[in-house]
Amino acid sequence: MNFHILTLFPEMVMQGLMTSITGRAVKQNKIGIEAVNIRDYTQDKHKKVDDYPYGGGAGMLMQAQPVYDAYRSVADQFPANAKKRVVYVTPQGTPFTQQMAQDFARQDDLILLCGHYEGIDERALESIVTDYVSIGDYVLTGGELPAMVVIDSVSRLVPGVLNNDESAQTESFSDGLLEYPQYTRPANYKGMEVPEVLLSGHHGNIEKWRHEKSLERTKKYRPDLYEKYMAENNNGR
Ligand code: ADE
């Protein structure tokens, strides 16, 4: 699977993504990541990519021409039947979920469009964007961090990106609950003991304890997920 990031700050995304697990996956050819500098596509002789919004208001907008042409430079290289999506990361988008990550992981190519300033001319968005995605109800200075979040979560679902140890973990959200607490050696750290049941070797009891802890945590920190889980799993209420 290939990720293409349309951005004014290619170094920012490449530095982050070429590190750690995503960087390893690129080196092993499990995924491809390229950053395309939108500024390279402006036809303005001063390399300008933004202008004032019609109708007035604060801030500047990215212009349609460089954004659209940067997109074309990427999309024109795909075969006609490529499975691709064009994601604009924006606080105005649909909240990003694990399910969306799974959907994106089935594509051949994912193009991520990063906005800056007050956003992007609507006509560029209407021409190219298939999915509007927000990573949460807060506003960042640009789309680079959200694009990195999306790429990180999607790439770890691509077969071969995680090794066995990394992928064997039972994960938060895979069953709709948050993950249970985990412990490693030593069994006593500053007087704090690892729960007895985890040392017992009794797999049935360990599973039961973990499930109870997952429920407890989910109820405390994510009452929304807890209610959904209880409704879906018919837990006698
Ligand atoms: N750009 C700025 N803030 C954002 C957010 N919360 N999600 C996605 N893109 C953004």
Indicate if ligand 1 lies below 6 Å from the C-beta of 137.
Answer: no
How high is the pLDDT of residue 174? 67
pLDDT cut 90: percent of the chain above it:
92
Indicate if ligand 1 lies below 6 Å from the C-beta of 112.
Answer: no
Rounded distance, CA 122 to CA 141, Å? Answer: 19
The average pLDDT across 126-146 equals 98
Amino acid identity for residue 42 in this structure: T
Rounded distance, CA 46 to CA 2, Å? Answer: 32
CB atoms within 10 A of CB 11: 11
How high is the pLDDT of residue 81? 96
Residue range 95-114, pLDDT digits in tens: 999 999 999 999 999 999 99
Strands 188-189 and 192-193: antiparallel
Indicate if ligand 1 lies below 6 Å from the C-beta of 140.
Answer: yes
Contacts of 25 (CB under 8 A, 6+ apart): 31, 155, 158, 160, 161
Rounded distance, CA 145 to CA 12, Å? Answer: 9
How high is the pLDDT of residue 170? 46
Indicate if the pLDDT at residue 46 is higher than 60.
yes
Indicate if ligand 1 lies below 6 Å from the C-beta of 10.
Answer: no
The average pLDDT across 224-234 equals 95
Q: Pick from 114, 145, 150, 153 the residue to mutate for probing ligand 1's pocket: most ligand atoms within 8 Å of its CB.
A: 145
Q: How far is the CA of 137 from the centre of ligand 1 (A)?
A: 8
Residue range 141-182, pLDDT digits in tens: 999 999 999 999 999 999 999 998 887 454 667 689 999 999
For residue 237, name the pLDDT band (cuts at 50, 70, 90): low
pLDDT mean across residues, the chain? 95
Residue range 66-91, pLDDT digits in tens: 999 999 999 999 999 999 999 999 99
pTM of the model: 0.94
Answer positive or negative: Cα dihedral of 121, 123, 124, 129: positive
Q: How far is the CA of 148 from the centre of ligand 1 (A)?
A: 11
How high is the pLDDT of residue 180? 97
The average pLDDT across 15-32 equals 98
